[in-house]
Amino acid sequence: MQIPPVFNETDIPPFIGFPKEALQFLRRLKKNNNREWFGAHKDEFEDLVKAPMEALVTSLQPGFDTFAPDFDLNPKKAIFRIYRDVRFSKDKSPYKTHIAAHFVVAGRPKGLEGSGYYLHIEPGEVFLGGGIYIPDGDQLKKIRRALAARPKEFLEVLRNKMFRKAFGELQGEKLQRVPAGYTPDNPMVEYLKLKQFFVGSQFKDSVCQDEDFLQLCLRTFATASPLIEFLNDALR
């Protein structure tokens, strides 16, 4: 049995920005989203898109250690695969036309249910944010209990000037009615109705081509970290 190689961050060079050809490749992939075309251009994806993303994620770790030290930014775990899961989708296009990563507490699986930070790059948009996008029923109950028990702490996070400047309002779909166990006169009722808890900032796609994109990511994620900490504490 072949043993897979062990991840070693020293094998990955420092982040110096995505080449402009990375976005060009993703545009071309959108027009040629089929296995034959991708197979013929896979080396370009590896060199122009995947390799810079691995460099970025690895280079983020020292900064994360200052505000989210329990997060492990192993690019092999954090970066989403380019292949789409088309089993339950009407769109059978086999490949994503973006590159993304999700950073969660070490030992937890990445994905939509996790509480953490999200990085997304595609032609026309760069998105940086964090929170919980699709919490399950048990997670929702824990978060709502924390909101009801610690309203001042939660509202201080949302009302912070830097937080509001970066993200505006907390985002997420809401229930039409007050969830069971709570009353309409609860001062946190609008937050208790939420089914999702996340924030994000959008940027021009050109920002990812600059070496300073690394610092933009760190500033944005550090600003979101009080919300991520509150949610993760609620889920413990």
Q: What is the pLDDT of residue 112?
A: 63
Please give the C-alpha separations between residue 10 and each of 22, 51, 74, in angstroms, as whole numbers: 23, 14, 12
Per-residue pLDDT of 142-188, as tens digits, reads 999 999 999 999 999 999 999 999 999 999 999 999 999 999 999 99
Q: What whole-number distance in Å separates Cα of residue 47 and Cα of residue 171?
A: 35
Q: Which residues contact 24 (CB under 8 A, 6 or more apart)?
A: none
Burial 99-116 (b: 16+ CB within 10 A, else e): bbbbbbeeebebeeebbb
Q: What is the pLDDT of residue 87?
A: 87
Gap between the terminal Cα atoms of the chain: 38
In a 3-state reduction of DSSP, which class is residue 217?
A: helix
pLDDT in tens, the chain (236 residues): 344 444 455 579 999 999 999 999 999 999 999 999 999 999 999 999 999 999 999 999 999 999 999 998 999 999 999 999 988 888 999 999 999 999 999 988 777 667 899 999 999 999 999 999 989 999 999 999 999 999 999 999 999 999 999 999 999 999 999 999 999 999 999 999 999 999 999 999 999 999 999 999 999 999 999 999 999 999 98
Q: What is the pLDDT of residue 89?
A: 85
Let me know if domain 9-235 sits in CATH 3.30.930: yes
Other Cβ atoms within 10 Å of 48 Cβ, number: 20
Q: What is the pLDDT of residue 102?
A: 95
Tokens of 105: 């507490």
Are the CB atoms for 99 and 50 separated by under 8 Å? yes
